[in-house]
Structure 1
Amino acid sequence: MNNKTSFSFEFFPPKTAEGMANLRQVRSELAKFSPEFFSVTFGAGGSTRDRTMDTVLEIQDEGFGAAPHISCISSSKQEIRDLLQAYQAKGIKRLVTLRGDIPSGEVSVGDFKYASELVEFIRAETGDWFHLEVAAYPEFHPEAGSAQKDLENFKRKIDAGADSAITQYFYNVDAYFRFVEAAQKLGISAPIIPGIMPIYNYTQLARFSNVCGAEIPRWLRMRLEAYGDDLPSLRAFGVDVVADICGKLSQAGVDKMHFYTLNQAGIIGQIIRQL
């Protein structure tokens, strides 16, 4: 592994006091890897807004970099403006800026339709106060009309003022390299940080992948299915697979990686140590 590799870790805001206590322990374990920041997700339609902010502020109070996700779907400009002002007042300097998923049964998408519009709005409201991360999709967004249109949509987010991007997870490392190359050909020079998803169990991973469009290669799917209910063996195999992906990224000069933790630390620690 490149000794200069830096890590960041994504959490979701816990719903219970027990969940919050667990997350504090997880943060303590992941802090050993000197993360650049911890990010905290934002529920569909802003359903976790208060818990996201509470979690972010607690992380910041512990002395870590904290980056709330901010989603614009179903939000008005004034609601986003209030949220930006609240984060500015607390000294938060980084945002993960997303369109977000349309909640089930939602009729109105709010004042913003695309993440590029949100990025543009944040820049107009706050200038260069925030470092803005946006999403990128090496295997293309599930709603994309074509690979080219998806790349053009990504470029719009960068042109609107995004500083860098974090990708959806992938298990085909060539998809990431090809996406970065295609983005560079469009004139995109912003860093594109690979998103890394540890393998916790196959059913959960298949459900996530069906929603987000991330491919589980057939060879990997067949191996994972073969483990059945033997989670320890599946996870040990998954550590090897994901560590190999991270190793290939590092060998290619990638010096930042973003882990989707699902509020767990053990498997991620094994992956990083295996590097």
Structure 2
Amino acid sequence: MSTPAVSFEFFPPRNLDASFRLWDTARALAPLGPEFVSVTYGAGGTTRQLTHEAVTALSNHYNLNVAAHLTCVDASRDETMQIVDEYAKAGVKEIVALRGDAPKGQAEWAAHPEGFASSVELIEAIAKRGDMKIRVGAYPEPHPDSNGSSAADVAFLKRKVDAGATSAITQFFFDAGTFFRFRDACVAAGIDVPILPGILPIQSWAGARKFAALCGTNVPDWAIDAFDAAGKEGEAKLAEEICVKLCNDLRSGGVEHLHFYTLNKPELTLAVCHELGLREDGLAA
């Protein structure tokens, strides 16, 4: 198998210590030659300015192609598109366009009175500019808001592609078969843009299970049994083995690009990439 292309997701720092962690993570992973890196938006748009600062710093200081997350939350259409303008002026050429989660304290997502009503509307507005690559989210297992319907998730992804999305990044999953079933359903629905599998190197088993519960990812019995047997002492080694196997299973099925959710901790992602044949010059070993 050829060495895969990779990309990495970071989140913006909220304090000085977190800033050091982000820069250490970028410094460790940038030499692997990622196709792009993305920077998330906090829930409810709470890190809007921090995201902008992180995006411009990563672009300017590490010479990375940065895809900035952008949501529809808590902003008018004009305010949201002003952010796109500011990114364009800073040299950003990619946006990860998302609906976003409900602001803290709000039970359900609701559109701003003067804002975009959905990610589809946001994508359409960005696409009209003609100067941005637009990446979107995808859900190989039912999104919490889709009432358990994978078919609804595929249909909504098709709407986003028709609106102008140029690629999709999936939520994380545990089994390669989950991704392949979703990919096949997307092809059958006429979705012809690249779909990048989102990979979560498990930094903390307890944290991964909590994250899975929030986003609707199924935790298989084999993973529960394996981590129970490994205990805290064997958790890190098991996490690396599981992640490498998942990546290799995906590659065997024709996947050429892997997107890693780093959680601003580079060690495990770096170890997995080394196992996949990537080295710090961006070339295969």
Asked if the contact 1:44/1:103 (under 8 Å) is kept, the reply is yes
Match of 1:116 among 116, 120, 135: 120
Distance in 1 separating the partners of 2:221 and 2:103: 31
Partner in structure 2 of residue 23 of structure 1: 22
Bigger shift: residues 239-248 or 15-24: 15-24
Instruction: Confirm whether residue 160 of structure 1 aligns to residue 163 of structure 2.
Output: yes
Partner in structure 1 of residue 263 of structure 2: 262
Partner in structure 1 of residue 143 of structure 2: 141
Asked if the contact 1:45/1:75 (under 8 Å) is kept, the reply is no
Distance in 1 separating the partners of 2:81 and 2:150: 33
Q: What is the total number of aligned residue pairs between the two structures?
A: 270
Distance in 1 separating the partners of 2:117 and 2:180: 29
Partner in structure 2 of residue 274 of structure 1: 275
Distance in 2 separating the partners of 1:162 and 1:253: 22
Partner in structure 2 of residue 43 of structure 1: 42
Partner in structure 2 of residue 80 of structure 1: 80
Distance in 2 separating the partners of 1:215 and 1:208: 11
1:118-176 Cα deviation digits (max 9, x unpaired) = 1012123x1x2110000011112121132211111111111100000000011111010
| Cα drift, residue 78 of structure 1 | 1.1
Instruction: Confirm whether residue 2 of structure 1 aligns to residue 2 of structure 2.
Output: yes
| Cα drift, residue 263 of structure 1 | 0.1
Bigger shift: residues 197-206 or 112-121: 112-121
Gaps of 5+ in 2: 277-285
Partner in structure 1 of residue 203 of structure 2: 200
1:69-108 Cα deviation digits (max 9, x unpaired) = 0011222101111101111111110011111101233385
| Cα drift, residue 114 of structure 1 | 1.9
| Cα drift, residue 248 of structure 1 | 1.1
Match of 1:173 among 170, 173, 176: 176
Equivalent residue letter for 2:240: V
Distance in 1 separating the partners of 2:53 and 2:122: 22
Asked if the contact 1:119/1:161 (under 8 Å) is kept, the reply is yes
Asked if the contact 2:68/2:94 (under 8 Å) is kept, the reply is yes
Distance in 1 separating the partners of 2:2 and 2:223: 26
Instruction: Confirm whether residue 240 of structure 1 aligns to residue 244 of structure 2.
Output: no
Partner in structure 2 of residue 11 of structure 1: 10
> Normalising to structure 2: TM-score of the pair?
0.91
Asked if the contact 1:73/1:113 (under 8 Å) is kept, the reply is no
| Cα drift, residue 215 of structure 1 | 1.3
Distance in 2 separating the partners of 1:104 and 1:32: 37
Match of 1:132 among 134, 139, 143: 134
Secondary structure of the residue aligned to 2:25 is helix
Distance in 2 separating the partners of 1:229 and 1:38: 30
Asked if the contact 2:198/2:261 (under 8 Å) is kept, the reply is yes
Distance in 2 separating the partners of 1:133 and 1:212: 19
Partner in structure 2 of residue 185 of structure 1: 188
Distance in 2 separating the partners of 1:68 and 1:142: 24
| Cα drift, residue 2 of structure 1 | 1.8
| Cα drift, residue 18 of structure 1 | 2.2
1:160-218 Cα deviation digits (max 9, x unpaired) = 00000000011111010011111001111100000000011111011100000111111
Distance in 1 separating the partners of 2:48 and 2:125: 19
| Cα drift, residue 45 of structure 1 | 2.1
Runs ≥4 residues deviating over 4 A: none
| Cα drift, residue 112 of structure 1 | 2.2
Distance in 1 separating the partners of 2:75 and 2:226: 42
Distance in 1 separating the partners of 2:268 and 2:152: 36
Partner in structure 2 of residue 92 of structure 1: 92
Gaps of 5+ in 1: none
Distance in 2 separating the partners of 1:241 and 1:170: 12
Instruction: Confirm whether residue 221 of structure 1 aligns to residue 224 of structure 2.
Output: yes
> Normalising to structure 1: TM-score of the pair?
0.94
